[in-house]
Structure 1
Amino acid sequence: MAFSSNPMTTVNRWLQRYFKRELLPLLADLRLAIALLLVIAVTSITGTVIEQGESLAFYQENYPSDPALFGFLDWRVILVSGLDHVYRTWWYLAILILFGASLTACTFTRQITALRWFSRPWNFYSQPRQFNKLALSGELEQGNLEEISPLLAKRGYKVFTRDRALYAQKGVAGRIGPIVVHASMLIILAGAIYGSMTGFFAQEIVPSGQVFQIRNIFDAGPWAEAQVPKDWAVRVNDFWIDYTPEGVIDQFYSDLSVIDEDGEELTQKTIHVNEPLRYKGVTLYQADWGIAAVKVKLNNSPVLEIPMGQLPTEGKSRIWGTLVPTKPDMSESVSLLATDLQGTLLVYDTNGQLVATVRKGMATEVNGIQLAIVDIIGSTGLQIKADPGIPVVYLGFGLLMVGVLMSYISHSQVWALEADDKFFVGGRTNRAQVAFERELLQIMEAIEPTATAAADATETSAIAP
């Protein structure tokens, strides 16, 4: 007996045997696939419940250590485990890859092997005893292939004959459906992983009239740099809010233009909630709003644009304010407060007393001067997202729906044989057993009126293949 003297050859053979006998069956195990699918579902739910991509202060405020949620879940656990960006953590991607490997192993060991059925010769039955193993079979005193062939063809069967034997089938797509389902799930996983590695999320608060490039990225994959646009920017042409007659916000809008490096407009769209702007794989959503500045005139001065900032209110309301000096030496001033863009501002003196209420386009006298409100400038809050994996995921879901529909198609097979002056007919199907039995009995009865009784007498089991 000859033995290989090359240790690498021995190792390779051992690895091949281990892969085929140990690893591949383990990966193809349905129980493993179900367990991984449940883990993916639980972690995805966690990523939906726990806010993603927020600041450290946010998690410290909402997930304190004392008391910790469920006794253990605090901001430290969230940050260390990566629950603040679940879909980009190494362990979540590892679970997706392992699930993909399990699906691939199952596809090649169980599903792809079914394709060999299409390349083999048709399995004609040549002996009457072969019909005994079928779920439904009948022995007819009369009948021939010339009679049964058109009956089967009329019901959608594709008929093949050889000598005095017949084989017919329909619903071949039902055998391919599970393969399409597996392939579509692999495509969905590939798209999700690709999107996690190359996508990004960003937020921008931009006043009306300004141009910005996407820079405030708070969550991005390791390969997302190539997706961040560098050859175009966005101009906020205008921002406004529609209010109901009761003064409640109805909708807020942003008129946006995508411009190139020379300032030329490439595309333009007015966006609002649930109606984003999409350009070259980047989507801009209307997400928030604010007040950026107020334009005022003091007596006959030029129009002054004074920035406004949001004041801390512990989440009870949203108020923006600014300080307007009323003397050149800034010895006297007033505070302007606004809660919306409807144009009404509250004027307070240095003692915190309300001294006037003024609307946009109007003026009031404070500290001996005429204070006119020219305009209130709003700022739009945009959420920006790029996920190159979305088209791949959509393709996978489309194939998944097709595959599921194909899987519901019954694959039915019928055999017939002329032998010993008798006519043998039998068949089986992978689903809709009752409907198939009714169909085959109708075919037998059309050939011989007493076929139903004969079939009932020879039918061994409606379940056994």
Structure 2
Amino acid sequence: MKFGLFTLIKQSANKLAAWLSDLRVAIVLLLAIAASSAIGTAIPQGEPNTFYIERYNLHPWLGVVRGRQLLAWELDHLYTSNWFLFLLAWLAVALLLCSLRRQWPALKAGLRWLDYQQPRQLSKLAVATSINNPAGDAALIELASNLNKNGWAVKPASNRLAARRGLIGRVGPLLVHGGLIVFMVGAVIGAFGGQRLERFLAPGRSLELLNRGGETQLELSLNKFAIDRDPVGRPEQFSSSLELRDSNSTTPVAAKVSVNHPIRHRGITIYQADWSLAAITLQLGNSPLLQLPLQTFPELGEQVWGLVIPTKPDGSDPVLIALQTELGPAQVFAAGSELLGLLPVGGDAIEIEGLPIRLVDVLPASGLLIKRDPGVPLVYTGFAILLLGGGLSLIATRQIWAIVDGDKLHIGGLCNRNLTAFADELPLIAKAAVNHGAL
């Protein structure tokens, strides 16, 4: 009874393993993971709960998913959600089982030399032929010599031989599966152990990055921020000239970061992500130059910055100074939204409500995205293994067996790539050996 139960459990486990390692299951998992990743790209990740409720309750995602549903389905942190991690783990198990059940046995079988001794055994191979052989065993000697010259490993025997080439190609699928697993492990480690910080930094300002112990690990200073614009005035590229100073070094390291050209330093990656306007320098009447911070006004547009200042000593008659670019001009609005004038950057003063106002300068700010991802080395390693395995998988593994039986040379072979070309090549190999062996 116990033996029967053990057999039943073993059979069930084998069936489950066979289903998990099925190629169709792996393809479905890959498609599900790709679709989920696309959703994670479309929906902002890691924002406060109120962000999703306010944004998606009024305008549901795809017209269906509201804020609370989105939170319940963990779409706000999709890459660390339980169901996404389950998909990754399932795919990793499927790849591992496929490697253990199929690829590893295929590699071990390829390492073994098979000794076919009868012509009828060769006739059952994917490619087989028989030709007249007046040269006898000399044809085998010539065949072995030709194969050796062309990079084949040859194992001769009495009246027969075996040869193979491209066995390294059998390692490719194992490396592909292993690379994918390492890649996914690195991605999971990065999702849980990574850190992300977004900051706007004005020229001349610094930012200290602390380690987990609260100590300064890296000080980042912005020397210069530049915005390249096209003839119409649209931004084309942003670049920041930085100085990086380690906690254990007194000499700063100069670096430049721009869109699509991040920099990496001691496990930290710095991206040029955005831009903003930090402050403007004004002169009100005969006052000294005043550098005043700007704030965003979403109700006026996506990229509108400004500040409200009074035009009278008692704080009355406030006006709004608003800008859309660092090039200006700044628009000045009264409390009733009436446009009072335009202030050119670096130009002459304009009298607004009886007060001369001069816009001296606009200080732009660099939007920097700073990420620490401990999984990056594993991700890169997995990607390298994946590329290596993919390249090796393209190498055709070929095997040939030949037997001399009387006045006949029987030859057969197997090939896992381009079998048609191999079928055309094999008779030519055999005829060349017979012809040279007869000389």
- TM-score with structure 2 setting the length: 0.85
* C-alpha distance in 2 between matches for 1:156 and 1:168: 10
Match of 1:340 among 276, 301, 325: 325
* C-alpha distance in 2 between matches for 1:405 and 1:332: 72
Task: Tell me if structure 2 keeps the 8 A contact 1:198–1:227.
Answer: no
* C-alpha distance in 2 between matches for 1:352 and 1:128: 97
- 1:209 and 2:204 matched: yes
Q: Which residue of 2 aligns with 1:189?
A: 184
Residue type of the alignment partner of 1:195: G
Q: Which residue of 1 aligns with 2:36?
A: 43
Task: Tell me if structure 1 keeps the 8 A contact 2:129–2:427.
Answer: no
* C-alpha distance in 2 between matches for 1:198 and 1:93: 14
Report the alpha carbon displacement of residue 363 of structure 1 after superposing the two structures with TM. Answer: 2.4
Q: Which residue of 2 aligns with 1:99?
A: 91
Q: Which residue of 1 aligns with 2:71?
A: 79
Summarize the Cα distance change of 1:405–1:366 in structure 2 as closer, same or farther, 3 Å threshold. closer
* C-alpha distance in 2 between matches for 1:103 and 1:247: 51
Residue type of the alignment partner of 1:339: Q
- 1:277 and 2:263 matched: yes
Match of 1:358 among 323, 339, 343: 343
- 1:167 and 2:186 matched: no
- 1:308 and 2:294 matched: yes
Summarize the Cα distance change of 1:31–1:157 in structure 2 as closer, same or farther, 3 Å threshold. same
Q: Which residue of 2 aligns with 1:246?
A: 232
Matches within 5 A, 1:117-156: 117=109, 119-120=111-112, 122-134=113-125, 135-143=127-135, 144=137, 145-156=140-151
Residue type of the alignment partner of 2:393: S
Task: Tell me if structure 2 keeps the 8 A contact 1:214–1:228.
Answer: no
* C-alpha distance in 2 between matches for 1:325 and 1:353: 15
Summarize the Cα distance change of 1:300–1:419 in structure 2 as closer, same or farther, 3 Å threshold. same
**Identity, % of aligned pairs?**
35
Summarize the Cα distance change of 1:240–1:448 in structure 2 as closer, same or farther, 3 Å threshold. closer
Task: Tell me if structure 2 keeps the 8 A contact 1:227–1:386.
Answer: no
Q: Which residue of 2 aligns with 1:424?
A: 410
* Deviating more after overlay: 369-378 vs 100-109: 369-378
- 1:296 and 2:282 matched: yes
Q: Which residue of 1 aligns with 2:364?
A: 378
* C-alpha distance in 2 between matches for 1:101 and 1:306: 58
Residue type of the alignment partner of 2:414: R
State the number of aligned residues. Answer: 430
Summarize the Cα distance change of 1:328–1:101 in structure 2 as closer, same or farther, 3 Å threshold. same
* Deviating more after overlay: 180-189 vs 68-77: 68-77
In structure 2, runs of 5+ residues without a counterpart are none
Report the alpha carbon displacement of residue 104 of structure 1 after superposing the two structures with TM. Answer: 0.8
* C-alpha distance in 2 between matches for 1:351 and 1:416: 97
Match of 2:382 among 381, 396, 402: 396
Q: Alpha carbon RMSD of aligned pairs, Å? A: 3.4
- TM-score with structure 1 setting the length: 0.81
In structure 1, runs of 5+ residues without a counterpart are 4-10, 216-224, 450-465
Question: What does the per-residue CA deviation read over 1:98-152, in whole Å, with 9 as the maximum and x for residues that have no partner?
Answer: 21011111111211122323553x2233333322322313153323222222232
